[in-house]
Amino acid sequence: MRVLVVDDEAPARERLLRMLEPLDSYTVCGEAATGQAALALAEERQPDIMLMDIRMPGMDGMEAARHLLALEQPPAVIFTTAYSDHALEAFEMHAVDYLLKPVRRERLAEALANARRLTRVQAAALGQAGEHGNARTRICARVRGSLQLIPVEEIRYFQADQKYVTVATAEGQVLIEETLKSLEDEFREQFIRVHRNALVAVRFLRGLGKDDGGHFRVRLAGVEEQLEISRRHVADVRQCIKSLQS
């Protein structure tokens, strides 16, 4: 099985590589020092298993594990960490195992022996786990066959259309296969619902207006689109704008 090793500390990666070397059933297909680099390598080299640290600068291991779902065949994840306080969250995300540093050879072999590629059902469960953990800092989308990471702080709005959700930034739009409800639950501190099919970023709210048909529209910084606001949400949006201006 192909193994990708991810840790921001070179000595920790080297230790894992040394322990993997004598194991004939496993081949190291790469190593990475950040969660974002791990995603790029996972897409390119399609590992079966990922040994991943949790606390890393930028994108941590928990967030990287959630983004792996954008791959057609996500790898099984074994977390490696010096801290025990993430164990519950790791297993809620259906990690194969959780190894405390310094990782012992026997525990590593045991975890690898139990590792199997995630099934579609497990992948769906991993995606839902994001609702109960910390909100992601990036949204992962597949664009022309490649993974694209979009910083949440740059997103103007999410808009649902049948099975897809449009993610809009000042640079353009991409489609993701997530539900608007799950996005609302995860990012409720940063986005407000304006319609049954749309969430807008609070930080980019600039005002309300009406179109020629008398429908309320919301103005957002950085995009020309003015999304319709349903009457039931007008008061909430108006109050939100007022609080930003005070």
- Is-contact 209 227, C-beta < 8 A? no
First and final CA of the chain: distance in angstroms? 58
- The answer to whether the pTM exceeds 0.85 is no
**Pairing, β 198-201 against β 155-161:** antiparallel
Query: What are the structural domains, with CATH classification, of the chain?
Result: 2-129 (3.40.50.2300), 138-245 (2.40.50.1020)
Question: How confident is the prediction along the chain (246 residues), in pLDDT tens digits per residue?
Answer: 999 999 999 999 999 999 999 998 899 999 999 999 999 999 999 999 999 999 999 899 988 988 887 787 889 899 998 877 766 566 555 578 888 899 999 999 988 987 854 444 444 555 555 444 567 888 988 887 677 889 999 999 999 998 899 999 999 999 998 899 999 999 999 999 999 999 999 999 999 999 999 999 999 999 999 999 999 999 999 999 988 887
Closest CA to 173 of 183, 186, 185, 159: 159
DSSP state at residue 21 = T
Which pair of structure tokens corresponds to residue 24?
């004939």
